[in-house]
Structure formats: structure tokens, C-alpha cells
Amino acid sequence: MNEKEQEIFSLLKEIKPDADFENSAHFVEDFLLDSFDVITLCDRIAERFGKEIALDDITADNFSSVKSIAALLEDV
């Protein structure tokens, strides 16, 4: 896991400390993140990385894993 992915993982654990993000294949489909969690994560990402995620980019696939979230941040 690179530094950005570690920071994303840290944010996820702040939002849902008891969730098992390490063993999930898809955070949304595994019910680890709901819509409120995703919006909260977007706010934390904006604070931490200075990147705003567009509403069109808020999809289950973009928030399915640490790697998919990191890839999304590369595109915004």
C-alpha cells in the first residue's frame, strides 16, 4: 500500500473503526460504506487532499476499495 492508499485507509477507519476494510472485496456491496459514509469520506478527502469529488464520480465502483478511491483521486 502506498502513502496515499494508507491515508485513505486511515480515513476509512476514522469513519467506520469496526469495519473490516482489509478483507472486503467491495466496500459498498459488502455494506461497509453506505451513502452517508461515502459523503463523509468525500468531505474528509477534500480536507486531507484538497480534491473535490464531483457528484457524477460518486459511484459504488469508485468507492469499492482503497485502490479504486486512490485511482479516483488521480483523475480529479
pTM of the entire predicted model: 0.92
- Rounded Cα distance between 52 and 21, Å, is 23
- Rounded Cα distance between 20 and 13, Å, is 9
Residue 76 has pLDDT above 90, yes or no: no
Instruction: Work out the pLDDT band at 62, boundaries 50, 70, 90.
Output: very high
22-55 residue pLDDT tens: 999 999 999 999 999 999 999 999 999 999 999 9
- Rounded Cα distance between 63 and 23, Å, is 15
Q: Residues with Cβ < 8 Å from 51, sequence gap 6 or more? A: 45, 73, 76
Q: What is the CATH class of 3-13+25-75?
A: mainly alpha
Domain ranges of the chain: 3-13+25-75
Residue 59 has pLDDT above 90, yes or no: yes
Q: What is the pLDDT of residue 75?
A: 82
Instruction: Work out the pLDDT band at 57, boundaries 50, 70, 90.
Output: very high
